Structure 1
Amino acid sequence: MAEELVLYSNPMSRGRIARWMLEEAGVPYSVEWLTFEGSIKAPDYLAVNPMGKVPAIRHGETIVTEAAAICAYMADAFPEAGLAPPTNRRGDYYRWLFFAAGPLETAVSLKAFGMEVPQERQRALGCGSYGTALDTLSFAVTRHPYIAGDTFTAADVYVGSHISWGLQFGSLEDRPEFRSYWDRLKDRPAHIKATTLDDEEMHRQLQAAKG
């Protein structure tokens, strides 16, 4: 009997990354929706993620938090989906997955909050500068059709989500190479289905909030 797979999420969060990844894996799962002002800080959920943030997944007795980790875990837990390269070809896969989770997100967040690191202090940060992080991302998305080579992987779910949001909300420079990369991902059936499901739940929650 297959182990139960549960996604803890909110449709207005990074939980959308995990939902897309679960749909790419093509395995059954259920969703527990959490509210930012209530259940996400409740003791039951803090036992799952003490940070009180989403997404998280529970797969049998295994709990995984952090969207990049969920992508990597799902690819390994369900190898039949073909979402990770062979072990001896995972250099770019790990490199860009965790570049996006670390330096890229840090640089973009600092920029969004108007925090500029003095040039002489940039080497103390893993992200360097916003410009350096974006130039590195440009390099990453122009080397191959997908982030880790010629085949779509879990790393594309994560990197692609960051690029999609960055272009949508203006936190990334609108570079042609970012558009071209995202155009190769956005019409994947799993992405369309995941987006539709999360949009439906988002609208339901917004209507409920209006009473």
Structure 2
Amino acid sequence: MEVTMTLTLYSHPMSRGRMARWMLEEVGQPYEVVYLDYGTSMKAPGYLALNPMGKVPALVHDGHVVTECAAVIAYLADAFPQAGLMAPDRAAFYRWMFFGAGPFEAAVTNRALGVEVPPEKAGFVGYGGFDRVLDTLDATLSARDWLAGDGFSAADLYVGSQLGYGLVFGTLPARASFTAYWNRIKDRPARLRASALDDAALAKAKQNG
């Protein structure tokens, strides 16, 4: 008897789940999306059994649960190598995936919330300072097109998504290397498909709500 592989993404159309859906579209395997609502179905016992944090995204692949957006994306790159999204340069791949999940996200989030780290306390946080994080990414993207090797990888999808959101919503400065990098990835067919699907789901939810 043939066993069917299953991929289920738990998400919300206005969440980090958009990045995970882009990754699923890049992977090209059949999947389904279950949309949850903040404060209701995300906190329901059934979902909390999958992700006690009560947030999205979460991925279930043949009964195995993966949470945290960076982990979902890295897992899919590893689980489906035929998609070519796991960079051969593993060191660079993991370096930039965790840079995105750690220093980059923390620095941008704190800046958006108005949290300023005093210079004398910079050693207490994992990113040191907002400008240091941006300068690090800027220097890298000024020197090469992609973060982990000679082509697009899941690391570019993850870090690039965050950078793109920052440029669109004004939480990041439009440095030349940032805008050039975002322009290299924003029109990938998989990203456009994923974005259209999530936008349609959001419009439907507003219409019904």
Q: Give, in whole Å, the separation in 2 of the partners of 1:70 and 1:41.
A: 20
Amino acid corresponding to residue 145 of structure 2 in structure 1: P
CA contact (8 A) 1:96 1:140 kept: no
Q: Is structure 2 residue 142 aligned with structure 1 residue 142? A: yes
Q: Give, in whole Å, the separation in 2 of the partners of 1:191 and 1:28.
A: 16
Which residue of structure 1 aligns with residue 172 of structure 2? 172
**Structure 2 residue matching 1:6: 3-state secondary structure:** strand
Q: Give, in whole Å, the separation in 2 of the partners of 1:207 and 1:167.
A: 28
Q: Give, in whole Å, the separation in 2 of the partners of 1:140 and 1:41.
A: 40
Which residue of structure 2 aligns with residue 30 of structure 1? 32
Which residue of structure 1 aligns with residue 103 of structure 2? 103
Q: Give, in whole Å, the separation in 2 of the partners of 1:140 and 1:205.
A: 40
Alignment of structure 1 residues 124-163 onto 2, 5 Å:
124-163=124-163
Q: Give, in whole Å, the separation in 1 of the partners of 2:191 and 2:5.
A: 24
Which residue of structure 1 aligns with residue 65 of structure 2? 63
Work out the number of aligned pairs and report it: 207
**Structure 2 residue matching 1:8: 3-state secondary structure:** strand
TM-score in terms of structure 2 length: 0.96
Give the drift of 1:140.
2.7
**Structure 2 residue matching 1:184: 3-state secondary structure:** helix
Q: Give, in whole Å, the separation in 1 of the partners of 2:140 and 2:50.
A: 34
Q: Give, in whole Å, the separation in 2 of the partners of 1:147 and 1:206.
A: 37
Amino acid corresponding to residue 129 of structure 2 in structure 1: S
CA contact (8 A) 1:84 1:153 kept: yes
TM-score in terms of structure 1 length: 0.96
Give the drift of 1:141.
1.9
**Structure 1 segments unaligned to the other structure (5+ residues):** none
Deviations 1:75-122 (A, max 9, x none): 111011111123xx2111111111011001111111111111110110
In angstroms, what is the RMSD of aligned CA positions? 0.9
**Structure 2 residue matching 1:126: 3-state secondary structure:** coil
Deviations 1:106-145 (A, max 9, x none): 1111111111111011012111101111111112322321
Amino acid corresponding to residue 30 of structure 1 in structure 2: E
**Structure 1 residue matching 2:33: 3-state secondary structure:** strand
Amino acid corresponding to residue 48 of structure 2 in structure 1: L
**Structure 2 residue matching 1:57: 3-state secondary structure:** strand
Q: Give, in whole Å, the separation in 1 of the partners of 2:102 and 2:143.
A: 20
Amino acid corresponding to residue 44 of structure 1 in structure 2: G
Which residue of structure 2 aligns with residue 45 of structure 1? 47
Give the drift of 1:149.
1.9
Q: Give, in whole Å, the separation in 2 of the partners of 1:176 and 1:95.
A: 23
Give the drift of 1:171.
1.0
